[in-house]
Amino acid sequence: MKDALFINGRIYTLEPSLPFVEALAVRDGRIAAIGRSADLRDSCSGFRRVDLGGRTVVPGFVDSHIHVPSFGLSLHLVDLTGTRSLVEAVGLVAAAVRRARPGTWVRGRGWNKNAWPEQRFPAKDDLDPISPEHPVALGSRDGHLLWVNSAALRLARIDQRTPNPSGGEIYRDGRGQPSGLIKEEAKQLIWKVMPPVDDETIEQGILTAAEALHRLGIVGVHSFVGTEGYEGAPAFAAYQRLHARAALKLRVWTTLPVQALDAAAGAGLRTGFGNEWLRVGPVKIFADGTLGSQTASMLEPFDSQTGNTGIAVYTREELADLVERAVKGGFWCAIHAIGDRANRWVLDAYEAHAGASARLGARHRIEHVQLLHPDDLPRLARLRVVASMQPIHATSDRDIAERYWGRRNQYAYAWRALLGCGTALTFGSDAPVETPDVLQGVYAAVTRRRASEPGGVSWHPQEALTVDEAFRAYSVGAAYASGQEDSGGTLAVGKLADFAILDHDVIREPPEALLNTRVEATVIGGEVIYAGPGFTG
């Protein structure tokens, strides 16, 4: 669809000078004109017409923190998401073991011990009776823990004498034996002995994910390196292969693992290199663990866990050194920080190299920013650090945040406070940790309630956003965070023709309408990439 005219819509441009129009013309993948339907019919007479039938149009959503290959591949793993007990989880794994071919690994993800009545971490002893031969590796919901059986430990040669690697921990029982729970960087010991995910599988994972994201109105992603080994160089190579054969129908801004920093800089790569479909983003660095695993790096111990201040992956000085090396190499940084100590150390690292970062034009980020000390709230804006956050984390983590952070929660998931300080916000999902459904994310940001509890009480409602502010974080904020505000984020002449078509006017209707809204079509570069059953354009 080279030239097309979309008419008779309720089009929200998110442009302050012209926030609402009826029609939008597309030429060569970009917006050629916007305005009234009657006017554009005359000026764009040769364009193919698409009648929106009064539907709502918003700028295409960008998920600013998602693990794309992992999300796609997770749809084929043992899904432990939502299991209500350890017993239920073990039952699902047992069924997968019975189906597995001899000698193969059984893999899964999504377990959350905080939702189980047993209220304990799982162990190898839970898996050994149902899988004495097949090695089993099961990632936690947040991806920072790995639950394995004895067969997996034997293959990885992890025993009582194995030391904890830097930034990780082999959890041990009362006798000093590995319990079957592997934390943070120690997971690499398991990954190294697992069969590698081949190139074709990674590509298929990306394509599967893209198809699912299109159905949600998502036109682009900031694809993050995470805890899986294939999310670094193998994923980047897969994106390039897909792009080379015109199979990549999703705009990708991809991070690089910090372990590849020197090699990437030496090869001449820089943040911003690429084109409208695939572009090199920042270096991804982990500063700590997570709330769910109680490995977030804290200034004070977790409530009810005396002495546990989490895991700092790097010292304060090491973080500052990494930022310095990245900036010298021409890279922006995106640093994962959950706990208040981790966030403080990351801000300290950015501040130590603020001058060099400014000269580079870097838009450094903190990923998640889940808990801040009040003294650090204004520092993000002052240092021009982007807060990359996931609204649905606040509602799904509410109960464990109350359990482990208590009174500190008034400074948790502080979207309103950060925005009030002038901080740039960009929103994502962290899928497969959470659903990538943007409308559910907007609902969480606006109501501070779970979608399953629409009539419930808002959690710290003083931090809620307006619908307009939340939508901007999924579009305008994402474009700014990736340095692409000249080509995306809003619907304006000259910008990319990327937008979502909805069946409800979610900007004007009450927030509850978000839960009943359907994406009818997703348009990328003027091409209808996804069309639901009710859309005939």
User: Which CATH number characterizes residue 353's domain?
Assistant: 3.20.20.140
Report yes or no on 11 lying in a domain. Answer: yes
What value does the mean pLDDT take over residues 410-432? 97
Of 171, 191, 211, the last residue of a domain is 191
- Considering the domain architecture, whether residues 378 and 254 belong to the same structural domain is answered as yes
- Considering the domain architecture, whether residues 157 and 56 belong to the same structural domain is answered as no
Report yes or no on 69 lying in a domain. Answer: no
CATH at residue 130: 3.10.310.70
pTM of the predicted structure, to 2 decimals? 0.85
Alpha-carbon distance of 166 to 470, in angstroms, equals: 38
Nearest to 372 by CA among 354, 392, 393, 387: 387
Report yes or no on 523 lying in a domain. Answer: yes
Find residue 500's DSSP bridge partners.
58, 522
- Considering the domain architecture, whether residues 40 and 115 belong to the same structural domain is answered as no
DSSP per residue, 182-229 = EEEGGGHHHHTTSPPPPHHHHHHHHHHHHHHHHTTTEEEEEEPP-SSG
Q: Is the pLDDT of residue 536 over 80?
A: no
Report yes or no on 66 lying in a domain. Answer: no
Chain segment 335-345, per-residue pLDDT in tens:
999 999 999 99
Q: CB–CB of 94/130 below 8 Å?
A: yes
Q: CB–CB of 221/62 below 8 Å?
A: yes
Say how many C-beta atoms besides its own lie within 10 A of residue 510's C-beta.
10
Report yes or no on 475 lying in a domain. Answer: yes
- Considering the domain architecture, whether residues 183 and 214 belong to the same structural domain is answered as no
Backbone torsions φ then ψ of 243, nearest 5 degrees? -65, -40
CATH at residue 23: 2.30.40.10
Alpha-carbon distance of 150 to 166, in angstroms, equals: 23
- Considering the domain architecture, whether residues 340 and 318 belong to the same structural domain is answered as yes
The pLDDT confidence band at residue 321, using thresholds 50, 70 and 90, is very high
The pLDDT confidence band at residue 231, using thresholds 50, 70 and 90, is confident
At 425, which helix (H) or strand (E)? strand 425-427
Q: Is the pLDDT of residue 229 over 80?
A: no
Q: CB–CB of 243/210 below 8 Å?
A: no
Alpha-carbon distance of 314 to 129, in angstroms, equals: 38
Alpha-carbon distance of 36 to 38, in angstroms, equals: 6
pLDDT at 1: 52
pLDDT at 46: 87
- Considering the domain architecture, whether residues 178 and 207 belong to the same structural domain is answered as no
What value does the mean pLDDT take over residues 222-242? 89
Report yes or no on 107 lying in a domain. Answer: yes
What value does the mean pLDDT take over residues 211-224? 97
What value does the mean pLDDT take over residues 33-53? 93
What value does the mean pLDDT take over residues 485-496? 98
Alpha-carbon distance of 528 to 537, in angstroms, equals: 8
- Considering the domain architecture, whether residues 179 and 211 belong to the same structural domain is answered as no
Q: CB–CB of 430/484 below 8 Å?
A: no
Of 139, 160, 191, the last residue of a domain is 191
Q: Is the pLDDT of residue 265 over 80?
A: yes
- Considering the domain architecture, whether residues 230 and 276 belong to the same structural domain is answered as yes
Nearest to 525 by CA among 27, 52, 37: 27
- Considering the domain architecture, whether residues 186 and 204 belong to the same structural domain is answered as no
- Considering the domain architecture, whether residues 463 and 322 belong to the same structural domain is answered as yes
pLDDT at 507: 92
Alpha-carbon distance of 492 to 490, in angstroms, equals: 6
Q: What angle do CA 448, 451, 452 make, to 5 degrees?
A: 120
The rounded mean pLDDT for the chain is 94
The pLDDT confidence band at residue 184, using thresholds 50, 70 and 90, is confident
- Considering the domain architecture, whether residues 204 and 348 belong to the same structural domain is answered as yes
Chain segment 70-119, per-residue pLDDT in tens:
899 887 788 898 899 999 999 999 998 998 888 889 989 889 988 899 88
Chain segment 498-518, per-residue pLDDT in tens:
999 999 999 999 999 999 999
Report yes or no on 266 lying in a domain. Answer: yes
What value does the mean pLDDT take over residues 362-368? 98
- Considering the domain architecture, whether residues 53 and 127 belong to the same structural domain is answered as no
* Rounded percentage of the chain residues whose pLDDT exceeds 70: 99
Chain segment 122-149, per-residue pLDDT in tens:
999 999 999 999 999 998 987 789 999 9
Number of domains in the chain: 3
Return the higher-pLDDT residue of 226 and 205.
205
The structure tokens 């993000």 sit at 380
pLDDT at 100: 84
Of 137, 167, 191, the last residue of a domain is 191
pLDDT at 433: 86
pLDDT at 258: 95
Q: Which residues span the domain enclosing 168?
A: 77-191
Report yes or no on 488 lying in a domain. Answer: no
